Amino acid sequence: MLIGAMLPAAVFVAGLGLWFGQFGGNGPAFWSGGARETAGLVSVVKEGWNVPAAPAVSAEHAVVIERSSGAVLYEKGAGDRAYPASTTKILTTLLAIESGRLDEVCIVSDFAAAQEGSSIYAEPGEEITLRDLCYGMMLRSGNDAAAAAAEHLAGSSEAFAEQMNRRAVELGAQESHFVNPSGLHDEAHYTTAYDLALIARAAMENPEFRAMAAAKTWTTGEDTEVKRTFGNKNKVLQQYEGGNGIKIGYTTATGRTLVASSQRDGMEVICVVLNAPNWFGDSYALMDWAHENFALREVASDGETLQAVPLTGGLRDHVLVGVDRGFWYPEEKPAEGAGSDVRWKLVLEGDVQAPVSRWQEAGEVHFYRGDEFVGSRVLYFMEDVPAQ
Q: Check residue 338 and give its pLDDT.
A: 52
Q: How confident is the model at residue 175 (pLDDT cuts 50, 70, 90)?
A: very high
In degrees and rounded to multiples of 5, residue 236 shows phi and psi of -55, -35
Question: Does the structure show a pLDDT above 60 at 8?
Answer: no
Q: Report which residue type is found at 386.
A: P
C-alpha pair distances (Å), 307 with each of 59, 318, 330, 334: 46, 10, 24, 28
- Is 156 a catalytic site residue? no
184-193 pLDDT, tens digit per residue, is 999 999 999 9
Question: Does the structure show a pLDDT above 90 at 17?
Answer: no
211-263 pLDDT, tens digit per residue, is 999 999 999 987 677 899 999 999 999 999 999 999 999 999 999 999 999 99
Q: Check residue 46 and give its pLDDT.
A: 76
Question: Does the structure show a pLDDT above 70 at 14?
Answer: no
Question: Does the structure show a pLDDT above 80 at 376?
Answer: yes
Among 141, 182, 262, 376, the active-site one is 141
Q: Check residue 5 and give its pLDDT.
A: 30
Q: Check residue 222 and give its pLDDT.
A: 75
Q: Check residue 25 and give its pLDDT.
A: 36
Question: Does the structure show a pLDDT above 70 at 108?
Answer: yes
Range 344-358 average pLDDT = 92
Q: Check residue 39 and give its pLDDT.
A: 61
d(CA 36, CA 347): 9
Question: Does the structure show a pLDDT above 50 at 282?
Answer: yes
Q: Check residue 38 and give its pLDDT.
A: 52
Buried b (16+ CB within 10 A) or exposed e, 53-75: ebeebbbbbbbbbbbbbbbbbbb
- Is 262 a catalytic site residue? no
Question: Does the structure show a pLDDT above 80 at 18?
Answer: no
Question: Does the structure show a pLDDT above 90 at 78?
Answer: yes
293-321 pLDDT, tens digit per residue, is 999 999 999 999 999 999 999 999 999 99
Range 173-191 average pLDDT = 97
Q: How confident is the model at residue 336 (pLDDT cuts 50, 70, 90)?
A: low
Among 76, 89, 247, 345, the active-site one is 89
- Is 345 a catalytic site residue? no
31-59 pLDDT, tens digit per residue, is 333 333 456 777 888 777 889 999 999 99
Q: Are 213 and 247 in contact (CB under 8 A)?
A: yes
Range 142-159 average pLDDT = 98
What lies within 8 Å, CB to CB, of 354 at 6+ separation is: 311, 312, 313, 314, 315, 319, 385, 386, 387, 388
> What percentage of the chain exceeds 90 in pLDDT?
79
